[in-house]
Structure 1
Amino acid sequence: MASSLYNLALDFSKELNYTKAIMARQGDKGITVTVKPYLNGLQMDTSGGTFTLKGTTPSNRYVDSVATSVTSEEVTFSLDGTFMSEAGYYKHCYVEYRKDNQILTTQDIIFFSLGVSDISQGQADEYVSQLEELIRKYNETFDAFMAETKGRVDSLNQQITDLTGQAKTLQDKLDALKEEISKLGNLQVMYSNSIDFGNYDYSGNPNLLSKLSYDLIENQNTSAGTLSKGENSFKYNKISAETEGGVELYYKRRGIANWLPSNKTLVMTVKLRAGVDYSPADGKKILIRYRFVDNGTGKIVLDLPINSNSITQEWKEFSITGTTPTFGPQAYHPWIQFRAQDGILGEIEMSYDIKIEEGPTATPYQPNLLVEPYNMCREYPNENIADPKVKFPIESGDHQIYQGYTEEELMIGQTYTITLKGTKPASQTFVAYNHWTARLGELKPVDGLTDVWSLTFTPTKVVAMPKLFRVYQYPRSTVGACQIDWLKIEKGKTRTPNISEYKYRGIGMRDSNNPYDYVWDIEPEYVEDNLATDIKISEITGKANNYTDGKVSEINSQLTASINEVDTTAKDAQTKANANATAIDELDNKIDERINDTATTAFYGAQGEVSNKTKVAEYGVGTGYTTTAVGETHFERQSNGYVKCLKAGKYSISAQIRVQLGGKYASWLYTNLYKDGTSVDNLVSYGVDALQNRFAASGNIVTDLEVNDVLNMRTEIGVADGILQFTSCRTLVLTRLSD
């Protein structure tokens, strides 16, 4: 590649900058980078300091280059082949300035070194030349834009920050079409599906309530008053002084307000004003209450009484502080109640800007960013491993509401989080299970959301069907109509929204819930999935023109051409990929070998074995069984039902036994796995006076086996009245884990 010259304008405040790009080829020499240094938008004093261009290569190797020339207006770096010693995007590249004890750094520069290609030199030069031209024009466009913007603004403080922030967002969108830039230092990350945050003051505490709307308000007594729409408000006209009247908020045949956190000090703030015909009554109040139903009983959490004489024709805020109880699994039906006591007449207007927040002191109103359209979250959505074949919504009045098979096996010791959006009767609880014998826990309401329930669990026991997942409603004796709109199961203890992707990513310098503390761009994964077409590029650049007076259109055609060229290169690469078929076949053979090493043998459907009505029975796999295997079969059934190991190793052994008890009952029952006549471990144990008739139980153990080891089960019961009428092993699954 020929020698290249790059002219960059960089601001060491990191506030007034646009990201720059340098593209070279691996091993190139004679690259000259000229930097015009600024500090807070003003030309920087370069005297007495040292400028160094520093970088981190794709393999995490540190490289640097000290400036070869420093003048009052610019700094020059001459890069040798050492700086371009590796191919790919450099993880970091920036300019450092040192003077005495002062150290300043610029934002990261995109630094890309093209690798040595196996295409011809002529093709390589042409391709690289086009990319270099694109980057040069790209930088020239934004350099011109910065100069023009600085000439128009009246203030170098807020106005320059706003305009350059918008331009940075545009450039980040274009950068995302190539590859995500590595994060810097300890920057904070936030995700959102909307960046239309409105003109709200987010300096206070987050709002735990969703935005109220007219369709979520119901008049419960039309003889006492009438309801009408206002502007971002509702109007309640009290027409009877004889009775109390009012409306229910966040209500649609039932309460659907957002859940509040348990055992927290909260503040509720509302805004009211009176109509021209409003008539208060001495000693009478307007009552605003957050309520819910707990196991069938109505409860008041926050109770705000407002003296009717304190309401005027100007908007006025009223607040109340309270402490929430523990919201249990049977908590239900949260809503806000508006009541005007008897004696009060006329119109009262209430703003939709209702806020409930943590803490003892009220802060300015802001919308709830946890809900639509934002779904704001610090974590990118985890993969949903719930059964994709299950169709929603599910409406059921049965004990079992949901059954599916997870895309991965549930593992003992792995932490998972299940979240569902659904409704249930007040008396009922959502409970998660693997199998009905493997209870995982009760789902509880999620703070700040409506009808959303969640549980974080770590399985300590998994049955022979490790992908099985069920949700029941409890108690069984009071089942009622339930609905599940969606269900998500994810690895880890963090609940993430039930969405597949985020549109926007925010980067901030400090930990904050204020969206204006972050610089927002299009999330790179969203770009990869949605923007790699000419139409989508035109859509994004069209929006970007709003911030650049149409200047981005100048590079749109070049960007599209570049993408088309990359697409052509990718098609050419397919021919080379076909040459790897032999290597892939070899890999398949190795995979087959691995499958055989970790094979599973299963015996199903065995008949019962009569034990001659004794208290002890030793047995194996009964008659009438079928055998399945994944990979090689590592076990065989002998004539007496016992199974013999054919390959040594560490095995996971799961069994389901079925027992028929004769007589009254048995006070205890144990089933152990035996190897060559010696007990290995306990599979099933019961120790209560409740074992009667026929029942089934499952268990799992992990043990080492040698070739020709013979396995069987031994079941024993207690109490003289109890006898084993018959026992059987209905399912025996043996999985080889390792050597």
Structure 2
Amino acid sequence: MVYKMNESIIVIQAEATSPNRTNVVFWSHDRGTAKLRMKLVRKNGIPQSLPEGTTVPIRLMFKSATAEGGYGKHDYLATVEDPVNGIVSIVLEDNILGYVGTVEGSVYIDFPNDRSLDTAGRFTFYIKRSPIDDSTPELEDYYFNGFSQTIDKIEKILADGKQEIDQKIAESETQIEAKLKDTNDKITKANQDVATLNTNIDKANDRIDQTNQQIGDLGKLKKMYSNSIDFGDYDYSGNPNLFLNPTFSDLSSDAKINTPVQSFVTDNGESFTVDLTAVTGERIFYINNLPTLLKSTSYTYSIEAKADIDLPNGIRVRPVYIDENSKTQYVFPTIIPNMTTSYKRYSYTHTNLPLGYLNSNFHSLQFYFPADVPRTKITIKYNIKTEKGTEATPYQPNLLDEPYCLGKAPLGENIADPKVKFPISSSSEVIYSKKALEDFVLGETYTVTIGATKPASQTIRVYLAQKQFSDFKPVEGLVDTWVATVSITQLGENAKGVYLFQTPNTSLGSCTIKWLKIEKGDTRTPNISQFKYFGEGLKDSNNPNDYSWDITPEYTEKGLNDSVSLTEPQSVDGTKNFLETPLVNGKNVLVEEKPLPYEAWHSTGTEQTGISNKARLIIGPVATTIGAKLNRSMKENPLTWNSGNWQATANRDCTLLVEGLVRYQFGGSTAGQYGYITFYKDDAQTSSIGFAGGVGINETALQWKHGLHFSRIFALKKGEYFNITFETQDGKKLDFSQINTLHIMEIES
């Protein structure tokens, strides 16, 4: 490694001296290469030896208008390069290179026998801006790089203390056992009778307490929270589902990057069909990004499928992963060893997932059809399940995953810095170093959750308030989600400090933090802005159909803020909230069973002048919806429109009716002899949904207007685009065009 290095002599003495002006200049572009080396000597010039366990803290100070006292402080634990000759060094972190000016340093020594000294060695150096640097690294008022060394010392102290405590306990146990034996020899039958009587009294008291608790619980409603109440008629008596909730868009030709499957695989809504009669040779595709599973655990995989003919050798459906050599490895041969012409649910139990699977960042369910599989059609349902245990229980969706994010606790407030932009990728030991919105409090417990990827060799560790730390563990049933719980027992100088490190520092790799949530308490809640619904029930159940569901006040308030004027007089319709809605077979009697399909009417769009072939028409704002008309809950809009309202993206699979009326005005020789409306599902306007309406004239007129009705029913996959396009002859244009009315309705089978 190449370093820009300086070596200074630090003399240990009692006399005060002026700082050693080293005349060293480091530049802002010296990232990771600015090294300060110091030789510690006594007053007589003899090197100061540094016995094992000695640490050498070095404090760097610089002027800062935002820091307390007007000076920023960066603390380092120096690397001991030569303990015999007292040579130590530090490499400046990037976060101080944003400073321009004089930096003053001071050197201290902490010996392993709890003695310490201030060397009185003071030195100065300069930092200047490199001409090549357009931006300045972020300058922090306080920084400490010595967590790893501090933890080593703490662990040694704990180990020594544990040994001493174990010895004292052993001595005490010997004495206690001798006294107990002497006492037991003196116990009489009367004592035994008294003990028996006391036991009977305790049992009676326990039964009374239990009865009182049950009586008290009768008046307490149990709560559950979710972002969707489309729970279906599934049997929720079995184990929770740890597989994701797949759709056709989740099928991929590649195990690393989601790539659409080829045309021999088609979607049927609740299932997909693989037509092997249309292809030759082997075929393979995947469902990627499977949720995390845990080590030393038994899991049962189940899937429902059928074929047009009996397949005695089945097909290969199995979990796979990409190993460290970029090769695909399977965990076990297949879930489906044979297949019949009727739907059947197949299952396979596997215990102790291989280490390679647990350490890989690429987990998929592979669908492999060898060349020797007979050419037939195979249909597989999306109701795939992974569950903990050795038995397959009835299917239910993964309620931890989207769109549910289900939980039994209200959302915890995220006190992480909201101004930090994610994702953050880093190969350094320090991945994240910021401040929380408030001080961490002694005695409190905090739960930290991240969305992250990391190398298999690395562990991500969180420090709060500089002193307390915990290692992140995977969250079972979610993708790339990790959680750590930290109890605050002491505070460092930076009581708001939040630091994410990767460890060990001998095998650093690329880590990416996608998001961060810090909340008070020991319960993890989803990383979402709000729950849309809450449920209440008389018993603590994992079956969401045992609860009566309503819209959360927070979601209602947001809807009102978005639709009700805060400055103009306005009337707002309201409905009474019947808290204890009756249930029959777990279903609401007085509340609609599920939201209505999305349906909206739009008002007049923007007038566009001088538009030519392939121009996208601009829609108007929503005038009303079917939910507003009927005062019913309605599904969210499946289309997300861009800021210009001329193109939308499907945020889920859907089938739509789109119809409306558009005005065209043609004028003179610049106008074409026809104008069409065509729907497209891509940004390049090469993939047509189809013709939706048109108008034409036999010869060029001076000026003519037309009101054109357009209409079409079509399906969109999640991620596909939708735009309403004007088409005419190349080189011709309209005087103006405007969408007068627009109706969009989702059609459900």
The TM-score by the shorter chain falls in which range? Answer: 0.3 to 0.5
| TM-score, normalised by the number of residues in structure 1 | 0.43
Higher relative contact order (CA 8 A, sep 6+): 1
